[in-house]
Amino acid sequence: MEEKQEKEKGNFWLTVASFIVNKRKAIEILFVLAMIYSVLSINKVQVNQDITSYLPADSETRIGLSLMEEQFTTYGSAKVMVSNITYAQAEDLVDDLENIEGVKQIEFDDSKDHFTGADALFSVTFDGTEDEQISKDALEEVKETLDGYDVYVSSSVGEEERSAESLSQDMNIILVLAVVIIVAVLMLSTKAYLQIPVLLITFGVAAVLNMGTNYWFGTISSVTNSIAVVLQLALAIDYAIILCDRFMEEHETLDAEEAVKVALSKAIPEISSSSLTTISGMVAMMFMQFRLGYDMGIILVKAIILSLISVFFLMPGVLLIFAKGIDKTHHKCYVPKITFVGKFANLTKYIIPPVFIVFLVFAFWESNHCQYIYDTNSIVSAKKSESKIASEKIENTFGASNQLVVMVPKGDYDSEKKVLGKIEKLDYVNSALGLANVAINDDYMLTDKLNPRQFAELTDLDVEVVQILYTAYAYNEEQYGPVFTGIDDYEVPIIDMFLFLYDQYQEGYVTLDADLDDQLTSLYDTLHDAQLQLQGDDYSRFVLDLSLPAEGQETYDAMDEIRGIAAKYFGKDNVILVGNSTSDHDLESSFASDNIVISVLTALFVMIILFFTFQSAGLPVLLVLTIQGSIWINFAVPAMRGQTIFFIAYLIVSAIQMGATIDYAIVISSRYMDLKQRMPIKDAITESLNQAFPTIFTSGTILTCAGFLIGEIASDPTVASIGVALGRGTLISIILVLFVLPQILLFGDFIIEKTALAMNISRPQKEVVGRVRVTGHVKGYVQGEIDADVSGVFQGQMKVSLDSHIPGRHGEVTHDDTQNPMLPGMTQDENVAAESETAAKEEQEEKKS
Q: According to the model, what pLDDT value does residue 802 have?
A: 56
Distance CA 798, CA 781 (A): 6
E-strand ranges in 88-223 read 103-107, 115-116, 119-129, 150-155, 219-221
Q: Is the pLDDT of residue 9 over 60?
A: no
Q: Is the pLDDT of residue 36 over 50?
A: yes
Q: Is the pLDDT of residue 116 over 80?
A: yes
Q: Convert 534-557 into a string of H (helix), E (strand) and C (coil).
A: HECCCEEEEEEEECCCCCCHHHHH
**Chain centroid, CA 666 distance in Å:** 24
44-98: pLDDT as tens digits: 888 888 888 888 888 888 899 899 989 988 898 999 999 999 999 999 999 899 9
**Chain centroid, CA 497 distance in Å:** 53
Q: What DSSP element (H or E) covers 520?
A: helix 514-534
- Alpha-helical (H) ranges within 253-368 are 256-285, 292-309, 315-328, 339-347, 352-368
The CATH homologous superfamily of the domain defined by 1-44+190-334: Multidrug efflux transporter AcrB transmembrane domain (1.20.1640.10)
592 confidence band (pLDDT: 50, 70, 90): confident
**Mean of pLDDT values over 551-557:** 91
159-191: pLDDT as tens digits: 777 777 777 788 788 888 888 888 888 888 888
Q: Is the pLDDT of residue 368 over 50?
A: yes
Q: What is the sign of the dihedral through the CA atoms of 155, 158, 162 and 163?
A: positive
**Mean of pLDDT values over 501-522:** 75
Distance CA 333, CA 191 (A): 5
590 contacts 289 by C-beta, under 8 angstroms: yes
**Mean of pLDDT values over 464-470:** 86
201-258: pLDDT as tens digits: 998 899 999 999 998 888 888 888 888 888 887 777 778 888 888 888 888 888 899 9
Instruction: Tell how strand 150-155 and strand 371-373 pair up.
Output: unpaired
Query: Which range in 111-120, 331-340, 368-377 is most confidently predicted, on average pLDDT?
Result: 111-120
**Mean of pLDDT values over 314-324:** 92
Q: Is 732 left (phi over 0), alpha (psi -120 to 50) or beta?
A: alpha
3 state DSSP class of 49: coil
**Mean of pLDDT values over 677-706:** 88
Distance CA 502, CA 523 (A): 10
Q: According to the model, what pLDDT value does residue 122 have?
A: 93
**Mean of pLDDT values over 766-783:** 60
668 contacts 759 by C-beta, under 8 angstroms: no
Distance CA 584, CA 589 (A): 9
Q: According to the model, what pLDDT value does residue 558 have?
A: 94
Residue 769, beta-bridge partner list: 797
354 confidence band (pLDDT: 50, 70, 90): very high
Looking at the chain, the domain(s) classified CATH 3.30.70.920 span 74-157
Distance CA 51, CA 374 (A): 11
**Mean of pLDDT values over 410-428:** 91
Query: Which range in 149-158, 476-485, 504-513 is most confidently predicted, on average pLDDT?
Result: 149-158
The CATH homologous superfamily of the domain defined by 335-395+584-760: Multidrug efflux transporter AcrB transmembrane domain (1.20.1640.10)
Q: Which of residues 836 and 367 earns the better pLDDT score? A: 367
Q: Is the pLDDT of residue 825 over 60?
A: no
Q: According to the model, what pLDDT value does residue 301 have?
A: 92
100 confidence band (pLDDT: 50, 70, 90): very high
147 contacts 68 by C-beta, under 8 angstroms: no
The rounded percent of the chain whose pLDDT value lies above 90 is: 29
Distance CA 678, CA 683 (A): 10
**Mean of pLDDT values over 629-657:** 88
What is the residue-wise DSSP string for 342-394? HHHHHHTTTTHHHHHHHHHHHHHHHHHT-EEE--GGG---SS--HHHHHHHHH
The rounded percent of the chain whose pLDDT value lies above 70 is: 87
376-390, 449-463, 487-501, 792-806: the lowest-pLDDT one: 792-806
Distance CA 589, CA 594 (A): 9
771 confidence band (pLDDT: 50, 70, 90): low
3 state DSSP class of 598: helix
Distance CA 279, CA 768 (A): 46
Angle between helices 553-570 and 580-614 (to 10 degrees): 120
Average pLDDT across the chain, whole number: 83
618-632: pLDDT as tens digits: 888 888 888 889 999
Distance CA 150, CA 146 (A): 8
The angle formed by the CA atoms of residues 215, 220 and 221, to the nearest 5 degrees, is: 155
Q: Is the pLDDT of residue 422 over 90?
A: yes
Looking at the chain, the domain(s) classified CATH 1.20.1640.10 span 1-44+190-334, 335-395+584-760
Q: Which of residues 186 and 21 earns the better pLDDT score? A: 21
803 contacts 777 by C-beta, under 8 angstroms: yes
**Mean of pLDDT values over 291-309:** 91
Q: According to the model, what pLDDT value does residue 769 have?
A: 58
Q: Which of residues 802 and 525 earns the better pLDDT score? A: 525
Q: Which of residues 793 and 513 earns the better pLDDT score? A: 513
Q: Which of residues 314 and 848 earns the better pLDDT score? A: 314
- The pTM assigned to this predicted structure is 0.76
**Mean of pLDDT values over 32-55:** 88
307-321, 596-610, 832-846: the lowest-pLDDT one: 832-846
Q: Which of residues 512 and 580 earns the better pLDDT score? A: 580
812 confidence band (pLDDT: 50, 70, 90): low
Q: Domain 74-157 belongs to what topology?
A: Alpha-Beta Plaits (3.30.70)
Residues 6+ away with beta carbon under 8 Å from 575:
406, 407, 408, 563, 566, 567
C-alpha closest to that of 202 among 322, 337, 64: 322
